[in-house]
């Protein structure tokens, strides 16, 4: 990576500490970049930009794009990024759903720390602008994972990666998925996940929690939708239990 002007005088700030969740995303990016898969990485809904800063500092791609809809977060971030070469990043105060991705770059779009339903709202606006262009996404929804998974499955996203990570007693799914996959052989993203192993304590705890959550929701408003989702998780559980 080229050094910034007067690099010898520049005091590089301490890198932000990444908790287990962001570290899991970072490690996936780092592994993907061993073969240089992406030239542009988008830390959408970046908040303080911890993940993107680490990707930028480690020189993992040509350009890191920070996007958050809250302008003062982006102003603060811009001040913390001045020690990096300006050509290697941009920080945008924008709604991630308004983004457009150039065709001459290989993009990875990270959408993490927002709900699954909100991730879907963002995708619904982005995807029609890219009807034929392959785009890779890395998701880590904070809630409503099923809504995101169902949307990805219905849209024919190919699965690149899925795992679970626990941080501060909360379990999260991490899903890497490709829009417009142009190569055969990748499975479609599953509505509930295809990596579960009931012998794994964390997987069992997580699926039990989801099933209990949807069982409870069948008692409230929108009971038929809750029952529909519950049936899908229950079928997943039953097929895992039969293995
Ligand atoms: C909880 S933080 C997530 C930070 C980080 N991505 C993570 O996973 O820890 C959520 C951030 O998403 C931003 N956000 C929510 N919807 C957005 C949108 N449509 N476009 C851009 N930023 C958005 C919020 O302003 C907030 O800073």
Q: For ligand 1, is residue 47 a contact (CB within 6 Å)?
A: yes
Angle between helices 145-154 and 223-241 (to 10 degrees): 80
Band (13; pLDDT cuts 50, 70, 90): confident
Q: For ligand 1, is residue 25 a contact (CB within 6 Å)?
A: no
Please provide the CATH number assigned to the domain covering 7-192.
3.40.50.150
∠ Cα 62 63 67 (to 5°): 160
The 10s digit of each residue's pLDDT in 116-174 is 999 999 999 999 999 999 999 999 999 999 999 999 999 999 999 999 999 999 999 99
Q: Could you tell me whether strands 135-140 and 89-93 are parallel, antiparallel, or unpaired per DSSP bridges?
A: unpaired
Residue nearest atom 3 of ligand 1, based on CA coordinates: 113
Predicted local confidence at residue 9, as pLDDT:
55
The domain segmentation of the chain, as residue ranges, is: 7-192, 196-243
- What is the residue whose two structure tokens read 């895992």? 240
Cα(111) to centroid(ligand 1), Å? 8
The percent of residues in the chain predicted with pLDDT above 70, rounded, is 95
Predicted local confidence at residue 10, as pLDDT:
62
Nearest-angstrom CA–CA distance, 167 and 140: 12
Q: For ligand 1, is residue 147 a contact (CB within 6 Å)?
A: no
- Tell whether the model's pLDDT for residue 3 goes beyond 50: no
Q: For ligand 1, is residue 122 a contact (CB within 6 Å)?
A: yes
The mean per-residue pLDDT over the stretch 218-230 comes to: 97
Q: For ligand 1, is residue 46 a contact (CB within 6 Å)?
A: yes
C-alpha distances (whole Å) from 204 to each of 41, 49, 170, 198, 210 are 33, 32, 14, 5, 10
């Amino acid at each position: 990576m080229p050094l910034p002007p007067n690099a010898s005088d520049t005091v590089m700030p301490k890198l932000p500490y990444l908790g287990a969740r962001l570290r899991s995303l970072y490690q996936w990016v780092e592994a993907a970049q061993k073969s240089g898969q992406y030239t542009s990485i988008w830390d959408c809904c970046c908040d303080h930009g911890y993940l993107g800063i680490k990707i930028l500092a480690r020189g993992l791609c040509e350009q890191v794009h920070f996007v958050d809809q809250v302008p003062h977060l982006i102003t603060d971030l811009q001040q913390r990024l001045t020690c990096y070469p300006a050509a290697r990043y941009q920080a945008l105060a924008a709604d991630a759903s308004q983004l457009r991705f150039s065709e001459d770059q290989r993009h990875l779009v990270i959408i993490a720390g927002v709900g699954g339903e909100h991730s879907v709202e963002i995708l619904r606006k982005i995807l029609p602008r890219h009807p034929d262009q392959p785009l890779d996404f890395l998701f880590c929804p904070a809630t409503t994972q099923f809504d995101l998974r169902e949307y990805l499955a219905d849209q024919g996203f190919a699965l690149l990666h899925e795992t679970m990570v626990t941080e501060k007693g909360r379990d999260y799914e991490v899903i890497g998925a490709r829009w417009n996959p142009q190569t055969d052989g990748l499975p479609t993203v599953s509505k509930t996940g295809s990596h579960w192993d009931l012998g794994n304590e964390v997987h069992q705890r997580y699926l039990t929690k989801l099933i209990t959550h949807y069982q409870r929701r069948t008692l409230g408003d929108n009971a038929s939708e809750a029952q529909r989702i519950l049936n899908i998780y229950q079928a997943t559980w039953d097929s895992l239990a039969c293995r």
